[in-house]
Structure 1
Amino acid sequence: MIKLKKPEISCIIITLNEEKYLPRLLESIKKQTFRNFEIIVSDNFSKDNTRKIARSYGCKIVNGGNFSEGRNKGAKIASGKYLLFLDADSEIPKDFLKINLRTFKKSKNGTGAVEGKPLSKILFDKMIFKIGYYYFRVGSIFSPMGVGCGIFSKKETFDLVGGFDKNVIFSENFDFYRRAFKYGFVYLPIPMYTSVRRLNKEGRLKFVIKYLYAGIYRSLLGEIKKPIFKYNNVRI
């Protein structure tokens, strides 16, 4: 009997009707120079071809929920010692897993973040993402922050903090990083790319104002567990 090699890292993707974007992400994972991984799609009962696409790429599929619930359910069936939480509308460069996982392991930290870059040619989008990145880096001196589309964590650390808080309805990634901070946090060198569909849908100025307001709210009143503005935490 052939003993299958246990995956070192589990890539967990949350989805809801992502037939347009999911193939691009899965193709970018398929092209990785690091090969010892598994892909888990935590799907919130999509009505389109999302699950069919996931199966065609050999992904494990689990019934998901909102952002936090979906990630938690994916992590529950993960076999890897390390976890990488991804958004379906993102893409990763071919050496993303190889270099970032190597750096993450050497750091011996519990969680890791990466820079998120926009899949957009619009200068304003690039500026907003870059400003956000530097804001996160400086802010992480006091409390760790990072984009939600690419979150690294040791499985052990994830379990110790109880995963993502399903009651946090906005910036659940910041809440997770904050609670896991005592186990260490590091920024990793290779960035990833994500769509700007939320900016397109909401409008760029409104998007920026919303995130600034959320940051002020969290600083003064704590995590956001009740609606303070219109936000879809089930699908990006």
Structure 2
Amino acid sequence: MSGDRPFFSVIIPTLNEERYLPKLLKCLEGQLDRSFEVVVVDGKSEDKTVEKAQGLEVIISEKRNVSWQRNLGAKRARGKYLVFLDADVEVPANYLSEIHHYLLVNKDCRVMTTWMRPDSNNDSDKAMVLLMNLIVEVAKMAEKPVVGGYNIVIRKSVFENVGGFNPKIKIGEDYDLISRLAKVGETMQILRRVRATLSLRRYRHEGTLTYLRQAAVGTLSFWLKGPITRELFDYPMGGEIYRSRRKSGKGKLVASVKKYLTRLNGWLQI
């Protein structure tokens, strides 16, 4: 999408994402900032994902591993900054332009993310994503930075200096990356005036309690014990897993959690 050397390289790891990838690509086509390229790294999808990315640079990965795929994309990338987005994320038209402006004004910023918004207007969904945003903020203040791998911007030279993502990590490869960056003095900045849209398909598929439990267990395990190199719970990659019947989410406890999230949303007046 840019003939000369681009400022950004948008790297998208995929596996059976024919339903979601086109939405993200349409968002990227509408970007106000045109200094970017798109690199899709596919893990040998069994659907039409690669076909949906026709006309773009597509790398076929021999391994179905999100870290491995992101690293492959980074190696091929020509941009000064790498933008890692998951296939089910959507971004507004000013996403790259706002980030570009921020980086030009704040020349010492080499790692950043943005706040997120949910993919629905449901109050409990809005509260869930708000909590995620606040956790990122609080973790940064506590000098225990966390960030979602679905929305990371990092200078390519910095990414290479720390060795990129660790493919051996089962869960929390994004936490591990940002932790290693912090250890070498890189401070993650958070842009709040532009927000990417986070798909809550895993949250809906797994059910509220399972999703919250996995998030808590994964985060605490990383903070207390470091990189997670064994399976704590099933956390598969691939869009096809969300085509199966979703969990009902019934039960008093689930209902009470959702009710709490809805109240939280109203209290904070999102």
Quickly name the TM-score band, shorter chain normalised.
over 0.9
Q: Aligned to 2:53, what secondary structure does the other structure show?
A: helix
Aligned counterparts of 2:146 and 2:114: Cα–Cα separation in 1: 10
Alignment partner, residue 172 of structure 2: 171
Alignment partner, residue 186 of structure 1: 189
Contact kept, 8 Å, 1:170 with 1:233, in 2: the verdict is no
The yes-or-no answer on 1:213 pairing with 2:217 is yes
Task: Name stretches of at least 5 consecutive residues in structure 1 with no aligned partner.
Answer: none
Alignment partner, residue 247 of structure 2: none
Task: Tell me the TM-score normalised to structure 2 length.
Answer: 0.82
Alignment partner, residue 125 of structure 1: 125
What one-letter code is carried by the residue in structure 2 that aligns with 1:222?
Answer: G
Q: Pick one of 183, 197, 200 that aligns with 1:196.
A: 200
Aligned counterparts of 1:49 and 1:112: Cα–Cα separation in 2: 32
Alignment partner, residue 156 of structure 1: 157
Contact kept, 8 Å, 2:16 with 2:238, in 1: the verdict is no
Query: How many angstroms does 1:105 deviate by?
Result: 3.6
Query: How many angstroms does 1:223 deviate by?
Result: 1.4
What one-letter code is carried by the residue in structure 1 that aligns with 2:155?
Answer: K
Contact kept, 8 Å, 1:115 with 1:146, in 2: the verdict is no
Aligned counterparts of 1:43 and 1:105: Cα–Cα separation in 2: 32
What one-letter code is carried by the residue in structure 1 that aligns with 2:172?
Answer: S
Question: CA offsets per residue over residues 180-210 of structure 1, 9 Å max, x none?
Answer: 1212321123110021110121111110111
* Number of aligned residues: 231
Question: CA offsets per residue over residues 46-102 of structure 1, 9 Å max, x none?
Answer: 1111111111xx311112331101100000100000000000011100000001122
Query: How many angstroms does 1:8 deviate by?
Result: 1.1
Query: How many angstroms does 1:233 deviate by?
Result: 4.2
Alignment partner, residue 103 of structure 1: 102
Task: Tell me the TM-score normalised to structure 1 length.
Answer: 0.93
Contact kept, 8 Å, 2:50 with 2:58, in 1: the verdict is yes
Query: How many angstroms does 1:109 deviate by?
Result: 2.0
Alignment partner, residue 115 of structure 1: 115
The 10-residue stretch of structure 1 (69-78 or 191-200) with the greater mean CA deviation from structure 2: 191-200
Q: Pick one of 60, 64, 69 that aligns with 1:63.
A: 60
What one-letter code is carried by the residue in structure 2 that aligns with 1:169?
Answer: K
Contact kept, 8 Å, 1:63 with 1:73, in 2: the verdict is no
Query: How many angstroms does 1:234 deviate by?
Result: 5.4
Query: How many angstroms does 1:122 deviate by?
Result: 2.1
Aligned counterparts of 1:40 and 1:172: Cα–Cα separation in 2: 20
Aligned counterparts of 1:121 and 1:99: Cα–Cα separation in 2: 24
Q: Aligned to 1:162, what secondary structure does the other structure show?
A: coil
Q: Aligned to 1:32, what secondary structure does the other structure show?
A: coil
Question: CA offsets per residue over residues 105-135 of structure 1, 9 Å max, x none?
Answer: 4322221111122102221111111011111
Q: Aligned to 1:192, what secondary structure does the other structure show?
A: strand
Contact kept, 8 Å, 2:15 with 2:237, in 1: the verdict is no
Aligned counterparts of 2:180 and 2:105: Cα–Cα separation in 1: 22
What one-letter code is carried by the residue in structure 2 that aligns with 1:60?
Answer: E
Q: Aligned to 1:109, what secondary structure does the other structure show?
A: coil
What one-letter code is carried by the residue in structure 2 that aligns with 1:113?
Answer: T
Aligned counterparts of 2:71 and 2:190: Cα–Cα separation in 1: 22
Identity value in percent: 32
Query: How many angstroms does 1:228 deviate by?
Result: 1.1
Question: CA offsets per residue over residues 17-51 of structure 1, 9 Å max, x none?
Answer: 11101110000000000001100000000111111
Q: Aligned to 1:12, what secondary structure does the other structure show?
A: strand
The 10-residue stretch of structure 1 (38-47 or 221-230) with the greater mean CA deviation from structure 2: 221-230
